[in-house]
Amino acid sequence: MKNCVIIEDEQPAIELLSSYLEKVPDWQLVQVCRNAIEAAEYLRSHSADILFVDIEMPMLSGIEFNQSLTDPPLCIITSAHVEYGVKAYDLNVFDYLLKPYSFARLLQTYNKLNEKEDRPAETLPSSVDTYIILKEKGQNKRVNIEDILFAESQRSYVVLTTVQGVIRSKMTLNSLESSLPSEMFIRVHRSFIVALKKVDSFNQNKVQIGEKSLPIGRLYKKDVRSRLDGVKD
């Protein structure tokens, strides 16, 4: 059993990662630290196998914290900023999880570690994430996956339409797509992702969700038709 410590100052991110770790059979969460100083104090008297470290934290950044450790445990960086990736790998971190990341992405890290240690991975539960975390105007927002209708790329932003309203988050559509369960969502156009079971009707050129008509891109038509024909309520 590997003891895991989360070092993170944002509660939604803590809750999401904690829920993921509950699904991994031989990883256990033993401590949550709100900043690097608190983590350093904890590690003076406790052992840990894996650290999940956010980069942007008060007092001391995740990178500075990692540099301060003389014999650090295996370190996995979590961040919403892709630009820190190169510097993080220069510090020999094990992996870099770009927020918002899915349970499937965490499993890639889990399997990668098992391969490194040359041992077989245990069978993991096939549960689906129930929510994702998106940042809007400096606030982290928890979005229930079942409530998502569709997402649209608008330059450097993604506009996510849910049953409750609209969220505009600075990220790429590819990044959002990687955090959504593929069995529930489909890319219908380079600028649109839709929830399969929220589609009211469709033809060869568009899908209809409520009063909104969304185009189907030429390269996506075959896959869209195949997936939507197979949707069951």
Q: 48-99, pLDDT tens digit by residue?
A: 999 999 988 877 778 788 778 878 889 998 888 766 655 555 666 788 888 8
CB-based contact 170:135 (threshold 8 Å): yes
Domain that holds residue 62: 2-116
CB contact set of 37 (below 8 Å; sequence gap of 6+): 59, 60
Do 10 and 89 reside in the same domain of the chain? Answer: yes
92 and 6 within one domain = yes
Q: Give the range among 119-123, 162-166, 187-191 with minimum mean pLDDT.
A: 119-123
Tell me the pLDDT band of 124, cut-offs 50, 70 and 90. very low
| CATH number of the domain to which 172 belongs | 2.40.50.1020
Q: What percent of the chain has pLDDT over 70?
A: 88
| CA 48 and chain centroid, separation | 23
pLDDT at 60: 78
Lay out the sheet containing 148-154: strands in order across.
166-170, 157-162, 148-154, 192-195, 185-189
224 and 143 in a single domain? The answer is yes
Listed residues 116, 150, 177: the one ending a domain: 116
Tell me: do 34 and 110 sit in the same domain.
yes
Question: What pLDDT does residue 126 have?
Answer: 44
In the predicted structure, residue 125 carries a pLDDT above the cut 60: no
- Residues contacting residue 97 through CB under 8 Å, at least 6 positions apart: 52, 76, 77, 78, 79, 105, 106, 109
Is residue 157 one of the residues assigned to a domain?
Answer: yes
pLDDT band at residue 45 using 50, 70 and 90 as cut-offs: very high
Has residue 16 been placed in a domain? yes
Query: Within this chain, do residues 93 and 178 fall inside the same structural domain, yes or no?
Result: no
Q: What is the pLDDT of residues 182-229, one digit of tens each?
A: 888 999 999 999 999 999 999 999 999 998 999 999 999 999 988 888
Same domain, yes or no, for 89 and 56?
yes
Q: Are 119 and 111 in contact (CB under 8 A)?
A: no
Instruction: Say how many domains are in the chain.
Output: 2
Examine the fold and report which residue of 116, 142, 161 is the final residue of a domain before the chain moves on: 116
Identify the CATH number of the domain in which residue 76 sits: 3.40.50.2300
With 0-12 CB in 10 A as exposed, 13-18 as middle and 19+ as buried, what is 3? Answer: middle
How far apart CA 151 and CA 112 sit, in angstroms, is: 31
For residues 215 and 142, state if they share a domain: yes
On whether residue 127 sits in a domain, the answer given is no
Give the pTM: 0.53
